[in-house]
Amino acid sequence: MTFSIIGRCQETGQVGIAISSSSIAVGARCPWVRAGVGAVATQNITLPALGPQILDALEQGQLPPAAALERVLSANGWSEYRQVTVIDSHGQVALFTGKEALGTHNAVAGEQCAAAGNLLSSQAVIAAMVTAFEQAGGHLADRLLAAMHAAM
């Protein structure tokens, strides 16, 4: 089981990620954040290179999230096993779930956020995360944690 949320604070422009997984050392492979650029969460059969490559495409190529995600996925193999969410410094999001994603999976874009998960108990887990993020007040970290609590 893995679920994650990426989000942006409209007031500060700060971006962040929260992720939970049954996979060991998920923090070393899945969350990628670059100040002033955006955030990327890569999961399912992970390829850690995707995060930095997508952030490079956002920053250096000045591509919107959907184009950056498409470019990087098409340049790397086995995309059908990947699950990736992207948010840029303006709050635009893109998401992808390959057809070979494990178990019950879902990905949902929201206002200044996106959530995704695989091996879920229900697809509703991801929708609940987005709703919780959008309805929570406070700092970005508080909103990310609200989404994680909703997933549980």
Q: What share of the chain has pLDDT > 90, as a percent?
A: 91
pLDDT of 28 reads 86
3-state secondary structure of 102: coil
pLDDT of 61 reads 81
For tokens 């406070």, what's the residue? Answer: 138
pLDDT of 43 reads 94
Residue 150 and residue 5 in contact, taking contact as beta carbons nearer than 8 Å: no
Angle between helices 124-135 and 140-151 (to 10 degrees): 150
pLDDT of 78 reads 93
3-state secondary structure of 69: helix
The structure's pTM equals 0.95
For tokens 């992808």, what's the residue? Answer: 96
Residue 38 and residue 87 in contact, taking contact as beta carbons nearer than 8 Å: yes
Q: Is the pLDDT of residue 142 over 90?
A: yes
pLDDT of 146 reads 98
| pLDDT tens column, 33-61 | 999 999 999 999 889 999 999 999 999 98
Six-digit token string for 16: 């962040």
Mean pLDDT of the chain: 95
Q: Is the pLDDT of residue 130 over 90?
A: yes
